[in-house]
Structure 1
Amino acid sequence: MDVGTQEAAGPTEWGQSVGVGPWADEFGTAPPPDPRFDPELLENGDRRNVVDQYRYWTRDAIMADIDARRHPLHVAIENFAHDANIGTVVRTANAFAAAAVHIVGRRRWNRRGAMVTDRYQHIHHHASVDELLGYARSEGLTVVAVDNTPGSVRLETATLPRACMLLFGQEGPGISERARDVATMTVSIAQFGSTRSVNAGVAAGIAMHAWVQQHADLSRAW
């Protein structure tokens, strides 16, 4: 089985396992001849954290299906202080079918928050912001920093480029000075309470959803 026992165990809801059991138990028939199906999942059940559309599919088949309809949205986050929010960013990027997640700085990051979605998401590592910028230029991506710095444009009123790379700083210090310098534009999220900033993982989700509202074909959503 290409998914591994850890992912196959899956979460629980109201005390019961999510997902489906063996095909024979669920449907009482032999499975149809579909090359996307994983023989071991058919035999043992599929408890992974995937939508029903992908039940019993191999990981490669799921990746190929998402790749065929990924958005021209890239997400980058700085990881110079081992930010614990990266897993959340990866999980949200997967939910919105982002083209890739880019991690700048340290290669190691806490995958717990990703809930195994990193197995279905393209992830690239860059040693520096300048290396990231080189990638963005080669792919024709406009770099948009997300930070509540002076001179930023309200995300709620901004027009985000379609071929876009949203760049987020790490929790606490926010966007690095070099990241602000290389970004074509900087957007901020409107806040109304006492806190100085929104959690980096939450901010990434808000910004990605803003891009989805402007550019995604909602008829293709689950």
Structure 2
Amino acid sequence: MPQIPWLDPADLAFPAVETALDDPQGLLAAGGDLSTPRLLEAYQHGIFPWFEDGQPILWWSPSPRAVLFPEKLHISRSLRKQMRKEDYRCSSDRSFQRVINECAKTSSKRPGTWITDEMREAYSQLNIAGWAHSVEVWQGSSLVGGLYGIALGEVFFGESMFSLGPSGSKIALCALCDWLIEKQFKLIDCQVGNPYLFEMGAEEISRQQFQQLLSQCATVNYAKAGSWNYHWQSQDKVAKMAV
């Protein structure tokens, strides 16, 4: 493993994000723990954990950073048509455990997972504390998609999403953006970009730009922590959303 700082379990401080490695891109530190205070400290500074079973806890701050401004969400014509035709219902924080468990599942296309048992327990504790949230997509009584992440101040830090039906994760992202716009959130952190996210309107910005946005928008406000209570129906909402 490259030479990187090891975190002191008794100290929540992280190295400056500017010291993150270029190869592998964004690797900042290792060790520490996944306690709620440390995770809140990490996210507030644009740092997130990402590691697999058998590895130490690894902390990352990549550059460029993939972000999505909720009002810039792009919904394709085919997705709009699908959401008009099929009446999907979306909820928040109704089934956090099911969402994170589905995100953690492996398949022939994805034989490994970074959502380890340790990660699931840590984010479940964040959900109980009111910092981590899930969005669920339902078709009838069946869960067909969802996502989860962390909300700090006016920033939502996306962690993972899944689909059990056509475009389930895309519909979850549509519902999330609608909720975030309503609550005046400024930014979704997508961490690392991919064609799927770029198709939905995500873009890349520099680490410096990202850190500036966090300093303005990502605050640990305990008064705002708590369960989300959001309900969304695709046929009612799709015509009002951004193109």
TM-score range, shorter chain: under 0.3
The structure that has the greater radius of gyration is 1
TM-score by length of 2: 0.26
Higher relative contact order (CA 8 A, sep 6+): 2
TM-score by length of 1: 0.28
